[in-house]
Amino acid sequence: MLRPRSRYGRWWIYLVLTIALVLVIAPFAWMVLGSFKGQGELLRNPPTWWPEAPSLDNYTQLFARLDFGTYFTNSVVVAVAVTAGNLLFCSMLGYALAMLEFPGKRVLLTIVLGTLMIPGVVTFVPLFVIVANAGLIDTLPGLILPFLVTPFGVFLMRQFISGLPPDLLDAGRVDGASELGIFGRIILPLCGPALATLGILTFLGSWNNFLWPLVVAQTEKTYTLPVALALYSTGQNNTQYGLLMAGACVVVLPLLIVFLVFQRHFIEGIATTGIK
Amino acid sequence: MRTPAIAALTMAAALVVTGCGRPADNPSAAPQSASTVASGPATGDLTVWAMGAEGEKLPDLVKDFEAANPGVKVTVTAIPWSAAHDKFTTAITAQKTPDIAMIGTTWMGEFAGLGALDPTPAAIDKSAFFPGAWGTTEVGGTSYGIPWYVETRLVYYRTDLAEKAGITTPPTDWDGLKAMAKAMQEKAGSKWGINLQPGGTGSWQSVMPFAWSNGAQLNNGDQWTFDSPQMSEALKYYQSYFTDGLANKSPAPGATVEPTFVDGSEPMFISGPWEMSAVEKVGGKGFADKYSVMPMPVKEKSASFVGGSNLGVFKTTKNRDAAWKLVQWLGQPDVQAKWYGMSTDLPSVTSAWQDPALASDKKLATFGKQLETAVAPPSFATWEQVAAKFDAEIEKVTKTGSDVDTSLKTVQSQATSIGTGS
Amino acid sequence: MSAPTLAATVQLPPAASSPKLPRKRGSHPGEGRAAWILAIPFTLLFLAFTVWPVIQSLFMSFTDTKQKDLRTPFAVNFTGLQNYGRALSDPVFVKAAANTAYFVVVGVPLTLGVALLAAVALDKGITRFRAVYRLGFYTPVITSIVAVAVVWRFLLQPDSGLVNTVLSWVGIAGPNWLGDVQWSMPSLILMATWRNFGTGMIIFLAGLQAVPASLHEAAAIDGASGWQRFWHITFPLLRPTLLFVSVTTAIGYLQFFEEPFVMTQGGPLNSTISLSMYTYNQFGYGNYGLAAAMSYLIFIVIAVVTALQFRLLRENT
């Protein structure tokens, strides 16, 4: 690393960083504190920081009214399935695009690249009609299938795999491995960090997805967590801020855990996604 | 290798293009007639969509219906208010609609225009409902559903600050309201005289009561009529609050009325019945005695905005008879009164207001009186788009003080080019 | 943006610099076949759920499709480029384009700068508690915009919001952040930077850690200062990372939707309305042909800007 600096050189960086951290976390912290306040206090002007009479009211209300188990399970099932699908299928194609030659390769690459830049809002309704015609409305597969593969995932994997030495392929072929075997036995195990990266980002996107699950579900048994939470916090003429805050805390908790658990792989992962 | 592919693509595109075209006549333009509903108890399954708190509480209410009609099973799905409109429009497009739904009054024109709703059977008597509310169910001369619950807008004011300002009886006309605002600002120490929305989404709901009170109309048949002298006079009056410094023209976005009402910096505002519990929550104990509501001030006639939600039956329903029976049941005065008790939603049926819970509350009684003369904008499918243009011009005249007549002419020309969708 | 494409909800994706592909060694038997087997799952799902909607919406942009025509997609009039023309001559659309440009031109460098600064500080400046700072700085990325918007609105309130309160301590009278036409966009840019710099920071951190320590030591021995070392060693090696984050952030910011939608609804006086938000409104009104045309206009801008970035930030090979 750097040549050793004096102890004094460091402390001011810690100070600045800590101030920055406090500022960055402040809105988040206010949200957490707000989840223990009542609607009256939340609307007060000037706003309060610490709750005057902290209570778990918002949380108990949410858990009592929400069929929490169902919604949480739905969110988990969908997010895990979408993540697993992306990890598998995107790495498959990413490998093919990175290391194999085949007719139609350039066309496929261009199409995938192109659709990344198209605003999602324009394909929303046609996509819904397709899913409806496929009989997938109000089903978990209807929430999963349209997102099982993403161009982003393909690119990430392609970048990473391109950074691997091509000699691996030759070595594999010399050893008599099949083409698919090379992928499964040689390449994929080396993709750990990139897969972790893709995994976290995909999980994050799927977990926080609101509009699609809202529109696809016909009955409450297919709701995911963000949809159910919006049910109780947003009203026609007013918003229940306390419930909103509590709901947001509940939703973000699993994400924090996933991030913490995968953090190490995540950092290593970014380093090797062909960014060099 | 490329040219045959390109040629094939071009041919395919050409075929598609030439294959397009609208049919010459427009079958959905004619008013529709409703078919009758079979008699006898309701049977079968029914799905109902309802938003927010109503969606939460409705299942308890319909238990009575299920008890009275054994053999029917009602499933209520609660939908969040945010993005509810998107949910409906995509469902209608893909024909995945429920049997019955709670539909916002301003959405009726759009959904009926999409051919999604079933006309109301003649058996349901419209005279039982507030006329303005019933009007929100009518699109192109046909009614599609019934009003379920209603709301209207009144002027909330701080009684203690009004007393301080020397006002003992609430004003009844435009000049009176302005004088009251001024007095509160000067004598009661309030920063502003009244909280009015300076443009932005939904600001027309604050402007139109004045316009309607002045005799202005939004449409004449299927022509928009924004640039009338009555509308101009009303909007000038609205603008004057801002230019005279009586209302705040730069409120922070997302700010709600309760904090400033409770701390007295904005001692008056115009809103609906839900604000009563909202201000009391912020104001704390005893605040209920410090404020009251008064009818919208009158120019030519009494008027206010009527909103709320309607109940509609979708054309794709497979259980039409039962669906209309449930809708009819929800419109019965005793059921409406019971629903009020469960949800505090104001009944759309006039006779339900005789229920002691409603009749005894003075503030609620004022809402009830105003409902008799409250009206809604026309149920054209394009209303939301036109309203957005109107809101934009309201924002201009209130925030920048620009000329009202020029703005109304702009709105008129934009509205005309958007049309009424009929 | 609450749209189904994950690429829009996660702030990362697409093309970075094109890596050095392995020399083509001549096709191996079964290579093509294996490649297609690997490609099939993705391709099928992609065709069904992505490509077909794109084609359909592209088609819609050349017609006068309205909401009620969606069930009979061919019973519409072909109008050619009329929708595109209408969009470009709509003053609100032009204003939205200007707002979006303002947002991107200021927001992207700002976000990149803050992210890089944070990454450098965490990488070089400190040795302990890195994980704490990392998590803390990343928190804004994972929290829901709706809950956070409430907090930000309170923070930015002109009279009693925290920001203006703090400013008043140093004698500055803060403006009406979200309600003033001049300050509304800077407020949103600030908020977007706060929300998104965490992602860039994490990527830069990894890129910085990939710079071999030996290079730094060698330069230090030669007497190079910290700043010189950064500029001549670290920065060039960071270039590909920079491109990656820059393209990512630009694509996301060109489509910025949630900040104005949740915070200001495009106001005051259309000072914060974005292209994506205006397009979303048009979809809401049922003007599907027009809205589709607007979407593809946005796409063209994104493609051009991305290409430009590749030009400017291309690594020297």
Mean pLDDT score, B326-336? 95
Mean pLDDT score, B394-407? 94
Q: Is B85 on the interface with C (CB under 8 A)?
A: yes
Q: Tell me whether residues A236 and B51 touch, CB distance under 8 A.
A: yes
Q: pLDDT by residue (tens digit) across A95-149? A: 888 888 888 888 888 888 788 888 888 888 889 989 988 999 999 999 999 999 8
Closest by CA to A259, choosing from A204, A212, A210, is A204
Query: Within the 37-96 window of chain A, which residues sit less than 8 Å (CB to CB) from chain B?
Result: 38-40, 43-45, 65
Q: What pLDDT, on the 0 to 100 scale, is given for residue C15?
A: 36
Closest by CA to B261, choosing from B252, B253, B270, is B270
User: CA-to-CA distance for A74 and A82, rounded, in angstroms?
Assistant: 12
Q: Residue C76: which pLDDT band, with cuts at 50, 70 and 90? A: confident
Mean pLDDT score, B370-391? 93
Chain B residues close to A125, C-beta within 8 Å: 90, 93
Closest by CA to A154, choosing from A198, A186, A124, A215, is A198
Q: Tell me whether residues C22 and A169 touch, CB distance under 8 A.
A: yes
Strand partners, B103: B310
Q: Is B393 on the interface with C (CB under 8 A)?
A: no
Q: What pLDDT, on the 0 to 100 scale, is given for residue C33?
A: 82
Q: In this complex, which of C59, C269, C286 lies closest to B395 when CB atoms are compared?
A: C269
Cβ atoms of B383 and B109 closer than 8 Å: yes
Quote the minimal CA–CA distance from B108 to chain A in Å: 16
| Structure tokens belonging to residue C115 | 């992210």
Mean pLDDT value across chain C: 82
B392-396, C168-172, C224-228: which has the highest mean pLDDT?
Answer: B392-396
Residues 6+ positions from C72 with CB-CB distance below 8 Å: none
Task: Please report whether residue C114 resides in a domain.
Answer: yes
Q: What pLDDT, on the 0 to 100 scale, is given for residue A229?
A: 85
| Structure tokens belonging to residue B412 | 């008129």
Q: With residue A238 as reference, give the H or E element that holds it.
A: none
User: CA-to-CA distance for B261 and B269, rounded, in angstroms?
Assistant: 8
- Cis ω before A46 (30° cut-off from 0): yes
Q: What pLDDT, on the 0 to 100 scale, is given for residue B75?
A: 95
Q: Tell me whether residues B260 and A45 touch, CB distance under 8 A.
A: yes
Q: With residue B101 as reference, give the H or E element that holds it.
A: strand B100-104
Q: pLDDT by residue (tens digit) across C11-49? A: 333 333 344 444 444 557 677 788 888 888 888 988 899
- CATH for C114: 1.10.3720.10
- Cis ω before C268 (30° cut-off from 0): yes
Cβ atoms of C38 and A89 closer than 8 Å: no
User: CA-to-CA distance for C146 and A209, rounded, in angstroms?
Assistant: 13
Neighbors of chain B with 3 or more C-beta pairs under 8 Å = A, C
Q: What pLDDT, on the 0 to 100 scale, is given for residue C130?
A: 81
Q: With residue B24 as reference, give the H or E element that holds it.
A: none
Residue with token string 């008013």: B31
Strand ranges of the sheet holding B154-158, from the earlier edge strand across to the other edge = B268-271, B154-158, B291-294
Q: In this complex, which of C132, C202, C292 lies closest to A122 when CB atoms are compared?
A: C292
Prediction pTM value: 0.87
Q: Tell me whether residues B252 and C67 touch, CB distance under 8 A.
A: no
Q: In this complex, which of A215, A234, A237 lies closest to B87 when CB atoms are compared?
A: A215
- DSSP secondary structure, A118-187, as one string: S-GGGGHHHHHHHHHHTT-TTSHHHHHGGGSS-HHHHHHHHHHHHTS-THHHHHHHHTT--HHHIIIIII
Mean pLDDT score, C261-269? 88
User: CA-to-CA distance for B396 and B400, rounded, in angstroms?
Assistant: 6
> Using alpha carbons only, how large is chain A's radius of gyration in Å?
23
Q: Is the pLDDT of residue A274 over 60?
A: no
Chain A residues close to B91, C-beta within 8 Å: 215, 218
Mean pLDDT score, B382-402? 94
Q: Tell me whether residues C70 and A27 touch, CB distance under 8 A.
A: no
Q: Residue A5: which pLDDT band, with cuts at 50, 70 and 90? A: low
Q: Which of A22, A50, A117, A185 to mutate to test the interface with C (most CBs of C within 10 A)?
A: A117
Chain B residues close to C263, C-beta within 8 Å: 253-254
Q: Is B59 on the interface with A (CB under 8 A)?
A: no
> Is domain B154-303+379-418 classified as CATH 3.40.190.10?
yes
Q: Is the pLDDT of residue A48 over 70?
A: yes
Residues 6+ positions from A235 with CB-CB distance below 8 Å: B52, B53, B81
Query: Within the 105-164 window of chain A, which residues sit less than 8 Å (CB to CB) from chain B?
Result: 124-125, 128-129, 132-133, 137
Q: pLDDT by residue (tens digit) across C198-255? A: 888 877 877 777 677 777 778 778 877 777 777 777 777 777 778 778 888 899 999 9
| Structure tokens belonging to residue A172 | 């594999």
3-state secondary structure of B314: strand
Identical fold, B40-151+306-375 and B154-303+379-418: yes
Which superfamily does CATH assign the domain made up of B40-151+306-375 to?
Answer: Periplasmic binding protein-like II (3.40.190.10)
In order of A37, A56, B139, C258, the CA distances from A34 in angstroms are 5, 11, 44, 22
Q: What pLDDT, on the 0 to 100 scale, is given for residue A268?
A: 52
Q: What pLDDT, on the 0 to 100 scale, is given for residue A87?
A: 92
Q: Residue B421: which pLDDT band, with cuts at 50, 70 and 90? A: confident
Q: Which of C2, C5, C43, C152 to mutate to test the interface with A (most CBs of A within 10 A)?
A: C5
User: Among all residues of chain B, which has the CA nearest to that of C159?
Assistant: B252
Q: Tell me whether residues B253 and C265 touch, CB distance under 8 A.
A: yes
Q: What pLDDT, on the 0 to 100 scale, is given for residue C227?
A: 73
Q: Is the pLDDT of residue A273 over 50?
A: no
Residues 6+ positions from B302 with CB-CB distance below 8 Å: B213, B295, B296, B370, B373
Cβ atoms of A90 and C42 closer than 8 Å: yes
Chain B residues close to A211, C-beta within 8 Å: 83, 86
Please report, rounded to a whole number, the percentage of residues in chain A having pLDDT higher than 90.
22
Q: Is B401 on the interface with A (CB under 8 A)?
A: no
Cβ atoms of A85 and A144 closer than 8 Å: yes
Chain C residues close to A126, C-beta within 8 Å: 52-53, 56-57
Q: Is the pLDDT of residue A266 over 80?
A: no
Mean pLDDT value across chain A: 83
Query: What residues make up the domain containing C235?
Result: 91-313
> Is the C-alpha dihedral spanning B122, B123, B124, B127 positive or negative?
positive
Q: Is the pLDDT of residue A2 over 60?
A: no
Please report, rounded to a whole number, the percentage of residues in chain B having pLDDT higher than 70.
94
Beta strands B138-139 and B142-143 are antiparallel
Closest by CA to B361, choosing from B304, B301, B277, is B277
Q: In this complex, which of B19, B21, B253 lies closest to C179 when CB atoms are compared?
A: B253
Q: pLDDT by residue (tens digit) across B95-131? A: 899 999 999 998 999 999 888 999 999 989 999 999 9
User: Among all residues of chain B, which has the CA nearest to that of A65?
Assistant: B56
Closest by CA to B153, choosing from B239, B266, B267, B273, is B273
Quote the minimal CA–CA distance from B385 to chain A in Å: 19
Q: Residue C171: which pLDDT band, with cuts at 50, 70 and 90? A: confident
Task: Please report the domains of chain A, with CATH numbers, ordered by start residue.
Answer: 7-271 (1.10.3720.10)
Cβ atoms of A226 and A76 closer than 8 Å: no
Q: Tell me whether residues B281 and A235 touch, CB distance under 8 A.
A: no
User: CA-to-CA distance for B347 and C199, rounded, in angstroms?
Assistant: 51
Q: Which amino acid is present at B291? A: Y
Q: In this complex, which of B86, B115, B385 lies closest to C68 when CB atoms are compared?
A: B115
Q: Where are the domains of chain B?
A: 40-151+306-375, 154-303+379-418
Chain C residues close to A124, C-beta within 8 Å: 3-4, 53, 283
Q: What pLDDT, on the 0 to 100 scale, is given for residue B266?
A: 95
Please report, rounded to a whole number, the percentage of residues in chain C having pLDDT higher than 90.
33
Q: Residue B209: which pLDDT band, with cuts at 50, 70 and 90? A: very high
Q: Is B316 on the interface with A (CB under 8 A)?
A: no
User: CA-to-CA distance for B151 and B133, rounded, in angstroms?
Assistant: 9
Q: What pLDDT, on the 0 to 100 scale, is given for residue A1?
A: 44
Q: Is the pLDDT of residue A43 over 60?
A: yes
Q: Tell me whether residues B263 and A215 touch, CB distance under 8 A.
A: no
Task: Please report whether residue C56 resides in a domain.
Answer: no
Q: Residue C316: which pLDDT band, with cuts at 50, 70 and 90? A: very low
Mean pLDDT score, B286-300? 94
Q: Tell me whether residues B94 and A132 touch, CB distance under 8 A.
A: yes
What is the count of structural domains for chain C?
Answer: 1
Q: In this complex, which of B113, B255, B385 lies closest to C157 when CB atoms are compared?
A: B255
Mean pLDDT score, A148-176? 81
Task: Please report whether residue C216 resides in a domain.
Answer: yes
Q: Is B95 on the interface with A (CB under 8 A)?
A: yes
Quote the minimal CA–CA distance from C204 to chain B in Å: 35
Q: Is the pLDDT of residue C101 over 80?
A: yes
Lowest mean pLDDT among A44-48, B27-31, C100-104: B27-31
